[in-house]
Each structure stands twice: as structure tokens, then as C-alpha cells.
A and B are shown apart, each in its own frame.
Chain A
Amino acid sequence: MSIDGELVVFIICGGLSVIGALGMVLSRKAVHSALFIAMVMINLAILYIANSAPFLGMVQIIVYTGAVMMLFLFVLMVVGVDSSDSLIETIRGQRLFGILFGVALAILLIGGIGSSLGDKPDIGLKAANDEFGGNVEGIANLIFSDYLFAFQATAALLITAGLGAVILTHREAWKPKASQKELSVARFMVGAGHPGNKPNPGVYARHNAVNTPAILPDGSLALDSVPEPVRSRDDSLIVDHRAVSTVVELVESEDQN
């Protein structure tokens, strides 16, 4: 018995995809599930290529692992990464009966298909793929002849889906966005606080330490310029009296002129 290369690929990729599917169902965190199903999809893409469907294999990787799974991860980040399942069953025995149903489905399908398709011939796609020069050309020939209507309906479906997503996630603005003028009026309203930047500590002073209050142009001290924790210990404030008197003199001489 010679070693069948396809059998090796099937055992590796098939096994990995079953492991990935089980991991997807069993893992507690949704992000792990998303990564597991990405693994399943890559392995299925390899199996498509092994089944002489290279175009579908590439589309599987680009569309599923590239676009769909990234969309899933994106929505996971929106919804919250740690949104794991609660362990309380709302319907009693749901988990047990669900697993029983799944196992029964698998046994039924494998038994039924195995008994009805056991002697099905394996014709292979070599002739069909070579008819128009390749797999992509063969599928294109079918899409643009026999399945043309379905292909055009697909276009309508995609546009509808895109519009639907935009409309579903759209949120109506409840009040109009504030203009620059309205923001400015609100800033100067009574009770809104200081309208502009507060002076930094050390302005017009001869120290730039953070506990030196700024001296305003009229010679008074701007206590707001010192951070609140420093200001509350008022023995630590450094007031440069010489600078204050200089500013006051300057203001008075300006007034006389």
C-alpha cells in the first residue's frame, strides 16, 4: 500500500479543523472562539485546494479568514471582549439535549450518506478544469452563462446587505451639533468658570517652581495657578514680594502717564 499524499493532507487538515471546531464550541472566551474558527477556515481552504478547487480555496482565505473573521473580531471589540457565557441554563437540560441532538445528527447523516453513497465513483475534475483552460475559467464560464441570473441577484443582495448594515447601526442625532459660536457663548456664561487658559505658576514671577503663584498684570496673585494640593498647604507658597512690587510700580507709572 503506497502512501497517498491526499490522505496525509486530509488527516492533518481534517483533524485540525475538527479540533478547531470543538475548540470554538468549547472555549469560554469569544475571542478564542474567533481564532479557533479562523483556524478551521484556513484548514478547509487547504481541503478545497486538495479537492481541485484552487479558486474556492483562495476565496475562502480572502473572504472568510480575511474579511468575515476580522469583522467578527471587530464586533467582539465593540461588544466587549470579556462577554463570556453565563453558566445558568434558562431551559433545563438544554445543554444535554443539544449535545445529544448533535451527536444523533452526526450518526444519522454519516450512516445515511455512507450507506447511500458508498459506491459513488470518483470522476475527478481534471477534464472539467481543462475544458476552458483552468479552474477559474471553468467557474467563470458557468457563472456568466448558466448562473448569470443568480450572479446578478447576488449583486442586489450585496448592495442590500451593505445598506442594511448602515441603516441598522445608524444612530439618529437627538440634538443638533453645537456650533463654534454656541460653544463660545457657553464658555463665557455666568457660572461657567474661567473662560480661557488659566495662568501658569511662575508667570511674572522670578521662580518657576510649581508653588509660586503667577502674578497677574495688575500685581495681584493668581492663586488658581498653583495646583490644588499645593495650594491647600498655604505655608508652602513662595510669593516673590520684590516681583510683585515691581509689577505694581509698573502699573502705577503706566497710570500716571
Chain B
Amino acid sequence: MDPIYYIYLATLLFSIGAIGVLVRRNAIIVFMSVELMLNAANLVFVAFARMNGNLDGQTVAFFVMVVAAAEVVVGLAIIVQVFRTRASASIDEPNLLKY
């Protein structure tokens, strides 16, 4: 099987994640969409590693996972803190820096 199909699949998932970030307004779902985009990028790394026959792509995907885990921790902490002060998880709610 041609591994280019993995790239197509990853592209599709990345686009769905991008639509999720743009359309949804619940901060947690937006965050999940970001995770989906990161996973799609990881799939591209893994598929390219297999196409090129070396393990660098898998190593980079591993680092992406570590960074994603760290990002989730801080991002969710920010969401919890915003929820405490504004009692809402909507991304339209924090608008104090507007204008």
C-alpha cells in the first residue's frame, strides 16, 4: 500500500481540526481540535519516516507528543482559571483586551 494515503488522511484530520478551532466556541472543544491537529502532524511524521527509511521522523513525533502533553497541562490550567473568574468556558467571554 502506498504510504501517501496516510498523508492524505492526516491532511483530512488536520483540516477537520482547523474547522473545529475556527467554528466551535467552547474552549475545551477548541483545545481538543488543536490536539487533533497535533495528532495529524504526528501521523505525517510517522508516514514520512517510513517512506524515507529512517527513524528521525518517529523521534520528532515523540518530541511532539511530549510538547503536546506539556501544552495540555498549561492550557487546561488556563481554562480552569478563566472559568473561575468568568464562570464560563466560552472563548468569546475573555474580552478585556478588546479595543
Interface residues of chain A: helix, strand, loop or mixed (majority): helix
Number of residues from B at the complex interface, CB < 8 A: 71
Decide if A30 is an interface residue (CB 8 Å cutoff). yes
A interface residues, how many (CB within 8 angstroms): 88
Interface contacts (Cβ under 8 Å), in number, total 247
Taking a contact as CB atoms under 8 Å apart, the answer to whether A86 and B13 are in contact is no
CB neighbours of B89 from chain A (8 A): 30, 79-80, 83
A247 CB–B CB distance under 8 Å: no
The reply to whether B4 and A117 contact each other, CB–CB distance below 8 Å, is yes
Q: Are the CB atoms of B73 and A30 closer together than 8 Å?
A: no
Knowing A101-B22, A102-B18, the reply to whether A72 touches B53 (Cβ < 8 A) is no
Are the C-beta atoms of A125 and B55 separated by less than 8 Å? yes
Chain B residues at the A interface, C-beta cutoff of 8 Å: 1-9, 11-20, 22-26, 28-29, 31-33, 35-36, 39, 42-43, 46-47, 49-56, 58-59, 61-63, 65-74, 76-81, 83-84, 88-90, 92
21 contacts between A and B (CB under 8 A): A7-B1, A17-B13, A18-B12, A24-B20, A41-B39, A51-B3, A51-B50, A52-B50, A53-B50, A72-B28, A79-B79, A85-B29, A99-B22, A99-B23, A113-B8, A113-B11, A114-B4, A117-B4, A128-B54, A129-B55, A139-B55
